[in-house]
Amino acid sequence: MTVTGRKILLSAVALGMVAAAPPAGAVVFAVSPQPGQRTVALGSPASVSVAWRVERQFSAGGVPAGDTVSSAAGAFHAGSATGPLLGTVPRLLSQTRPVSGALTVFTFREAVTVPARVIHRAHRLGFSQVVYVRTFDDGFGAATGTVTLPVTGSGGAAFSVARVALSFADGSVLQVVEPGAPLAVQARLTVTGSGLLRAVWEVADPASTAGRPVYRVVRTVRRHLTGTGVQALPGPPLPTGARGGYRVRLRITQPRPGFEPPELAYFVSGGRGGALRSLPLVRPAPGVTLGPETRFAWRAVPGAAAYRLDLLDATRQGARPVTGVVVPGERSEAVLSAATRGHLVPGRRYRWRVRAIDGQGRMVAESEIRELRVP
């Protein structure tokens, strides 16, 4: 090759115009993400949906190509793919396909959440961008792809939803209600940038929640959100006609988030499930004075989907609960929040009990009743 030819080749390589040819028998040799760039905002988490196009070439007479292509984890770096490591995404992406001709193309879709701390650390180190890196390998060859994430102010960031927090209207995350009782749900979305939100509220009824939930749409959302920060989104009235366990979720379709839809559970009381089992209480002892740190605890009941801790006025027999809390079946203790304690009158005596609810909303176990005093 002439000196001039070598100079031209070196210049082309420097400009990224020459792609390295795969060695004989090599397999994975090219990774192309879409999009290749997405802006993120300083001070806010971001959600990015990436489609990784992975090309694998098989050369006849070379090393046999494997059938599985995978990437063990992704990584955030400051400035470039070789810059300081900012964090990792320990999520395996893997596909198995038979060899088909000289070239096989794999497509991996991934929704990535970029934590605010990652963006902040890159900025603090003096870098203007974060780079998300993934290496794909099949055991015989590997290639790396990158997504560039320029850091900008909140006004210039791409529209994304980084977090969704669901709760019922009273702020709780689990409810047990009577048949036909009104029940509403709400969401708080952590948003970056501005844009059109498309989503659906979905509910799974008792007919399916005992196994794999089957969701149906109860409300469609099409709403323009403006400005970075936390946005409130009211939900629909929830069905409470049939007894049993329900699940409700908000599924966002635009912009696609980097996480699975969060969901809440609620139960419509189904009466008693046969003879009630005993639910032993652990603490507090009878007659205790209630305080902010008072911890209520009981023995777990097999098959319980939820527990309801009720507080009743000790001066009235057969009264409905004054207040209380509902906790998931995997927990067997609770501390009353300030809002819950606010329903209690200072200087008055109350009784408390715990009831276990199964997946069909039936009460299956009940504790003794103990007294406590509110100072």
Q: What is the DSSP string of 72-93?
A: --EEEEESSTTS-EEEEE---E
Q: Which of 316, 274, 281, 286 minimizes the C-alpha distance to 296? A: 281
Query: Per-residue pLDDT tens for 44-88?
Result: 888 888 999 999 887 555 545 557 899 999 999 999 999 999 999
State the sign of the Cα–Cα–Cα–Cα dihedral 254, 255, 258, 262.
Answer: negative
Helix (H, G, I), strand (E, B) or coil at 155: helix
Enumerate residue ranges in the chain where pLDDT < 70.
1-26, 59-66, 99-101, 154-157, 318-319
The pTM (predicted TM-score) of the whole model is 0.58
Domains of the chain: 21-156 (2.60.40.10), 160-268 (2.60.40.10), 272-373 (2.60.40.10)
Asked if residue 244 lies in contact with residue 270, where contact means CB atoms within 8 angstroms, the answer is yes
Write down the pLDDT at residue 370. Answer: 96
Number of H helices, E strands in the chain: 4, 28
